[in-house]
Amino acid sequence: MNSAEAISQKRPLLDRFWITRAVLHSYSQVLFSDSTMLGAFLLLLTFLYPLQGAAGLSGCLISIASVVALGISPSKIDSGYYGLNGMLVGLGLGLFFQFNVAFLAVVVLAAAFTAVVAVVMKNLMATLLGMQAMSLPFVAVTILLFMAAKGFDNLSVSVAPIQVARWLDVFALPVVVDVFFRSLGAILFQVSSVVGMAIFVGLLLFSRIAALLAVVGFASGTALYLIVGGSMAEVGTNFIGFNFILVSIAIGGVFLVPSLSSYLLAAVAAASSALIAAGTNQVLMNFSIPVLALPFNLTVILFVYALKFNSRHASLQLVSMLIWRPEDNLRHHRALAMRAPNPLHVRLAPPFLGERVVSQANDGDETHKDRWSQAWDFVIEENGTQTSSELPDKPEDFFVFDTPVLAPADGTVVRAVDHHADNPVGSIDREHNWGNCVVLWHYGSVYSGVYHLKKGSCKVSVGDRVKRSDVLGLCGNSGRSAVPHLHLQAQAGPEPGSPTIPSLVAGYISTNDGEKVYRAVGNPVKGETISQPEPWDEVREAFQLPIGRNFVFQDESHADKSLEWTVDVDFSGTLFFRDLKSGQKLFFEKGKGEVVFGMLAGPEEGLLQTMLLAAPRIPLCRLAGIEWEDRLAPELFVGATGRLFLDLLRPFGELHRVVSRTRYLGQEALVFGNSTTNAHVLQTVLWRTKFGKRKQHPVAKAKLWFDRLLGPVRIEVEYEKGESFRLQQIITG
């Protein structure tokens, strides 16, 4: 048996038994978590009254079985959404009704019906609002059952769970503290403050931010509820207080990126849920029905949907992907902000081949002003001059004249003008300010335009679909252009010369004093020389990384340790490496011009962090003589205590910065058993800056060898403190 076969037989237990994972995720989702350990802990807590716990687990399993029968794939069930709603229905019924044959029949039918409602609501919410259905199916079905139960003589009210809670609650706590813990327990339909304490401990271990938000939400919601005339007894016994807690966690750290602003909004949202709870409680109490999680669901849906239209307050940002744990949400957001600044700005590729000098940049001192400030002008310079003649008197004397102009991004041609004459040098056409041009529509209200093209040079027509770097025309001297140059801008409308919108240049090489630096994204300044990188099939094919491809590595520092990584994709379409033994994940993105390795998740035994350190960002272009920088999360270089400290303070700013500098070293012979390959080598040096100091300290050096057909074939990482890893791919077959 070879190493690959041996590893393939060591799949994680929960990968084989996906139902187990789906059940545990159903319980952990109560606290917005995908942690199976937290799920197992919460599952055990529900069995303090065994019959109620059994009802909850039965509801979970029946709902899962029902959606399987409906044809829902295990990968979608794994998230826990369907089991969560069935589990809550079972726990709720188990709290309020005695166990008998009628009760069992109702639990089975209710859980199955909840699964159907969950499927419908999930698709309706996604289609109509682009949002999660959360626990709305549970709320709808449970309210319906409570109303129907009034006509069922065989369903009797139970007091057994309350008696168990009284037996457990041996601590004499201040009223506010007692109600807080009872509210936490009510999340699982447990009316004991001891269960609430246990849940708070679990929440604290899972996420310090979530634990803090639980306190903030409870304080804010309870304060307003008391102000408007509610009582503390209602908060604790009518299943109202837990709504404040869940709203605060969801708004402050799950659906929004945690920040001081999100904390304040969480407090406002929790207070708003108190008003909704007061109103719904008045209606539902007429039918002897508790408000359940209705205030939570309504409040979160209203606030999150409203924030989808937020374009002004950068401090209130919805998460780009649901990672659930607030600390991970914040870490992912900060990583994106560090590695791809100004995410709302349009990205445009250099619309030319070869090198160009920026003759006018954003907020230029000539024409790039006011509503047209976000633009660039490009020229060609050789030996400090733009012309081939000492006394240029015609456009043809300028190097940039008659050179190809390329599409800066994929799009559709909405305007193509090429009938205006090119101006004599020193003259401008004031009547036709923008001259000959091509305007592309990209998406929504985002357009781009290239201007001052040569007369009769347009290669495209209105309605044509173009790809990035397709030829649109030739550089000219039409419109308000005294000398030939190319004008590039992103704009808000299809008409030539529409007001500009913020944009950045993506994937270009900046040359300064002969030193070439690759910039993934940037805002070129006046006088800067930039060029579009030349695509390189060697690196592009090496990092195709198709879904399902496996890589087997031998850890040379531990001769008996082999690793198997596979390329996978999650429900949102995000690609990641997954270590098949430990379950560790390394997320990455494949764009047209680069591969970017991002967030790590899971245990470190999979050593996927070595791939991230060796090549955080890989431009898919000619790399010789080019260096590029990136930013990485500081957690990679601190221990557990340090990560805890960073998690607590991250919403208020970063105390550490880690910068990587990567360079292509050329080719090197690499031995695989009895064969040899000439692999390409990347070297990365990582530096850390502490507490805002300017001095940088090296923290690690890494190398990555890659081959066109084999992909990454060797990784070496050496930490400053002496620890090192050397992984080499095992070629099988």
- Rounded to two decimals, the pTM is 0.67
Q: Considering 97, 130, 158, which residue would you say is the last residue of a domain?
A: 158
Domain presence at residue 78:
yes
**pLDDT higher than 70, residue 550:** yes
Q: What is the distance between the alpha carbons of residues 636 and 137, in angstroms, rounded to a whole number?
A: 40
CATH number of residue 238's parent domain: 1.10.3430.10
pLDDT tens-place string over residues 321-347:
677 788 888 877 776 666 665 555 788
Q: Considering 500, 531, 562, which residue would you say is the last residue of a domain?
A: 531
More confident residue, 515 or 487: 487
Residue pair 615/665 in contact (Cβ under 8 Å)? The answer is no
Residues 507 and 587 in one domain: no
Residue pair 417/443 in contact (Cβ under 8 Å)? The answer is no
Nearest to 583 by CA among 567, 599, 605: 605
Domain presence at residue 35:
yes
Q: Which long-range contacts (CB under 8 A, 24 or more apart) does 45-51 make?
A: 45/188, 45/190, 45/195, 45/198, 45/199, 46/91, 46/188, 46/189, 46/190, 48/164, 48/168, 48/190, 48/192, 48/195, 49/94, 49/160, 49/161, 49/164, 49/190, 51/94, 51/99, 51/160
pLDDT for 246 equals 95
Query: Would you call 512 exposed, middle or buried from its count of C-beta atoms within 10 A (0-12, 13-18, 19+)?
Result: exposed
- Would you place residue 72 in the very low, low, confident or very high pLDDT band (cuts 50, 70, 90)? confident
Task: Quickly tell me which residue has 């596979």 as its tokens.
Answer: 566
- Would you place residue 73 in the very low, low, confident or very high pLDDT band (cuts 50, 70, 90)? confident
Residues 617 and 695 in one domain: yes
Q: Considering 112, 141, 158, which residue would you say is the last residue of a domain?
A: 158
Lowest mean pLDDT: which of 40-54, 350-364, 411-425, 587-601? 587-601
Residues 385 and 458 in one domain: yes
Query: Would you call 616 exposed, middle or buried from its count of C-beta atoms within 10 A (0-12, 13-18, 19+)?
Result: buried
More confident residue, 169 or 78: 78
Residues 126 and 191 in one domain: no
Which stretches does DSSP call E strand in 329-410? 346-348, 355-360, 375-379, 404-406
Lowest mean pLDDT: which of 61-70, 381-390, 475-484, 567-576? 567-576
**pLDDT higher than 50, residue 1:** no
Residues 515 and 590 in one domain: no
Residue pair 116/66 in contact (Cβ under 8 Å)? The answer is yes
Domain presence at residue 329:
no
Give the pair of three-digit tokens for residue 167: 């037996």
Domain presence at residue 331:
no
CATH number of residue 467's parent domain: 2.70.70.10
Domain presence at residue 337:
no
**pLDDT higher than 60, residue 693:** no
Residues 411 and 502 in one domain: yes
- 489 forms beta bridges with 375, 449
pLDDT for 415 equals 96
Lowest mean pLDDT: which of 88-97, 156-165, 440-449, 624-633? 156-165
Domain range enclosing 252 = 167-318
Residues 548 and 646 in one domain: yes
Domain presence at residue 323:
no
- Would you place residue 514 in the very low, low, confident or very high pLDDT band (cuts 50, 70, 90)? confident
Residues 400 and 303 in one domain: no
Residues 213 and 297 in one domain: yes
The DSSP line for 219-254 is HHHHHHHHHTT--HHHHHHTT-HHHHHHHHHIIIII
**Cα 468 vs. chain centroid, distance in angstroms?**
25
Lowest mean pLDDT: which of 476-485, 501-510, 603-612? 603-612
For the chain, give the mean pLDDT: 86
Residues 412 and 551 in one domain: no
Domain presence at residue 589:
yes
pLDDT tens-place string over residues 366-377:
889 989 999 999
What's the mean pLDDT in 360-389?
90
Q: Is 181 helix (H, G, I), strand (E, B) or coil?
A: helix
Most confident of 4-13, 382-391, 543-552: 543-552
Into how many domains does the chain fold? 4
Residues 229 and 377 in one domain: no
CATH number of residue 721's parent domain: 2.40.360
More confident residue, 465 or 572: 465
Residues 350 and 491 in one domain: yes
pLDDT for 8 equals 38
Nearest to 342 by CA among 492, 505, 181, 452: 505
Domain presence at residue 699:
yes
